[in-house]
Structure 1
């Protein structure tokens, strides 16, 4: 979530961010009002608690004098007066204790209301992010030549079926629509792609991680995946666990409630996991093949760093994604995603989209997002700055390879005889130069 102090001091910046996202900016005034109510509730609680402590201090000396009078044979009038004072102070203390308890509950409720409202606000977008929705991106680079075929190109599913690499029919028979089997060359191609990405990550200082794909609600919410897109997430009600749609979720929770050491630079992880997405609302979209499916494999980069270095780190992640696409000899473009298509945690996101010949358009293969302190603030991940002061860390993520890449590889490298050329850089990981029917 965003920093309430930032919102308090820069409400217009938050309103502008909400407006750019196409979301209601009236929430800013609601949050400010809730923040005022919370601070008033806390002030009332602390004032009454101070009065309670003062009253408690008064009771001690009275009880001391009463005990002394009783032991020392004080007269009845003196003892009676001290007893009356003690009873009055005890009654006052009991009333104050009830008041303090009630005011504490009010402050807690005010804090909970404020937290609920703040979680409705997406991350503050970075300067230069395009305003608008899904179609309002800006193309910042186009790389590679589009393939030219002297034959009628086939789509990835027809190629995959002829290679014995993709089996949608049996996937549907076993698990339902949008499921599939990768077999033979298909399985080898995916594993080779993921391993090539992992090797690139290791060479650049990433720690490999095989992550859980089931997480607790607080982890899923902390990563920002239950705010606006909860309908995309699979939930196991009997166990109150969620299936993750990316290893980003588990890696975001990896250092939850910790103070991490960034003195030697960012902590970088490469998470390999199976991912699950309900694809709610996508009825009729990309129903053919493996472009939009419920289950896939992905290698995800995840970084913890000093917020001051997050923008530079974001460029590095984009560079690794570009290198992977270049190694796969795919024509692609890089887009600066518009604010309304960022998702709540991201302050900026770059997508790399590869050319899909039979669709005549570019399709997303990678995303890399700078989430600044949004996730780490929710999850309590902090670090010590150069002055030894505890600060909230920044987090970033980026895709190095997914199952969807097979679509672009099969289509762009298909040959007239139905075979598919394996890109040279990928051949050592696949163990084949050509995939043949």
Structure 2
């Protein structure tokens, strides 16, 4: 949720932000109008309430015909107060909806435009195309480590089983990511994956991408698509001590409906309904958020290096940012069978947007209450298996296991099943 004080002082800043996102700035004008209407309705209501209280004292002291006239005015005033109260409620509802409709203010450093307008920061490693080049599913099936057919039989399309070395490969990545997080001062967390609406809304996931989320109507609860949601909600309604950032690493299963991806990436496990992930999450002061963002990116790149994968880092364009993000960096791994880079991990600086919604504050250097900043970033997830298998495939159909994962998988090479 954006800072209303900043909007009132500089609405043009938000119009420019919406333009960078390639979105209409009408929502800015709508919020300004709703804000004005809400404050006007509230002022009218409070004025009538003040008159009502004063009238009550006059009635108590009046006599005869004067008292009767005052009683009649009191009756009419009560109806006016009730009507004014209704206008305040309606205006407040419209104002809240307009407030929530505006995404976070885009960072001045983020490039403008859509998905293809990202800024390339760097490329790391040498991209190759093995000969023969098998895709990850062909490799996985020959190795006996992913079972798509039985996943579909049990749960439907876009579900799968990780079996044997496939399960060990994922567990190894997640454990390695968690160990790296702990070594860097993060507190490990296994959070709930079923959350209340206020937790989902507070992190900005019930806006344009609400159809991606699994909703359990009977329980009025949501399955999370990332542990960012329960980690953000962990300190909701609290006042934090932020002399040092609070850093958490959540290990969870994640669920996404992929409602908008019909016909896309239907082969294999690039885009699935359930996956596992280790997610970093940070609470800090707004002044230290940019430095924390670079720290999270560095940790993600350390994991890319441990996976021995060629990748590139991009500064995501404003139009491709989520509702909550002011700036986002993606690490995209090379996928040989597709001849292109695909997103493996990302880190977002959400500034004060989520914390304002979740009412998470801290005491600043002047001793005043201020809104905290939040950031998130992924350290390991199921999709990495795609890049691991394809980049480390060998001519005989086996797959090399990166040195960092060998202690977890228990071997240097995964051999095809006979």
Q: TM-score, normalised by structure 1?
A: 0.92
Equivalent residue, structure 1, for 2:54: 54
SS in 2 for 1:426: helix
- The 2-side partners of 1:379 and 1:94 are apart by 41
Structure 1's unaligned 5+ residue stretches are 63-80
- Residue-by-residue CA offset, 1:365-399 (whole Å, 9 max, x unaligned): 00111111111111111111122211111111101
Q: Which structure would you say has the larger Rg?
A: 1
- The 2-side partners of 1:377 and 1:297 are apart by 28
Aligned residue among 354, 366, 374 for 1:395 = 374
- The 1-side partners of 2:65 and 2:3 are apart by 52
Asked if the contact 1:193–1:430 (Cα under 8 Å) also holds between the matched residues in 2, the reply is no
1:129 is displaced (CA, Å) by 1.2
Note if 1:167 corresponds to 2:167.
no
Note if 1:222 corresponds to 2:202.
yes
1:56 is displaced (CA, Å) by 3.0
SS in 2 for 1:368: strand
SS in 1 for 2:63: helix
Name the count of aligned residue pairs: 416
1:90 is displaced (CA, Å) by 4.5
- The 1-side partners of 2:47 and 2:88 are apart by 12
- The 1-side partners of 2:311 and 2:338 are apart by 14
Aligned residue among 236, 254, 275 for 2:234 = 254
- The 2-side partners of 1:355 and 1:411 are apart by 9
Root-mean-square deviation (CA), in Å? 1.6
- The 1-side partners of 2:72 and 2:193 are apart by 56
- The 1-side partners of 2:333 and 2:151 are apart by 26
| Residues 421-436 of structure 1 aligned to structure 2 (within 5 Å) | 421-436=400-415
Aligned residue among 249, 261, 264 for 1:282 = 261
SS in 1 for 2:346: strand
Asked if the contact 2:22–2:113 (Cα under 8 Å) also holds between the matched residues in 1, the reply is yes
Deviates more, 1:371-380 or 1:344-353: 371-380
Equivalent residue, structure 2, for 1:72: none
1:334 is displaced (CA, Å) by 0.3
- The 2-side partners of 1:332 and 1:347 are apart by 23
Equivalent residue, structure 2, for 1:377: 356
Equivalent residue, structure 2, for 1:343: 322
- The 2-side partners of 1:292 and 1:21 are apart by 25
Asked if the contact 2:129–2:336 (Cα under 8 Å) also holds between the matched residues in 1, the reply is no
Aligned residue among 101, 105, 114 for 2:86 = 105
Equivalent residue, structure 2, for 1:154: 134
SS in 1 for 2:394: coil
- The 2-side partners of 1:287 and 1:340 are apart by 25
Aligned residue among 390, 398, 406 for 1:411 = 390
Asked if the contact 1:353–1:365 (Cα under 8 Å) also holds between the matched residues in 2, the reply is yes
1:104 is displaced (CA, Å) by 2.5
Deviates more, 1:427-436 or 1:358-367: 427-436
SS in 1 for 2:250: strand
Equivalent residue, structure 2, for 1:208: 188
- Residue-by-residue CA offset, 1:320-377 (whole Å, 9 max, x unaligned): 1001001111110000111111011111111000011111111100011111111111
Equivalent residue, structure 2, for 1:6: 6
- The 2-side partners of 1:359 and 1:242 are apart by 34
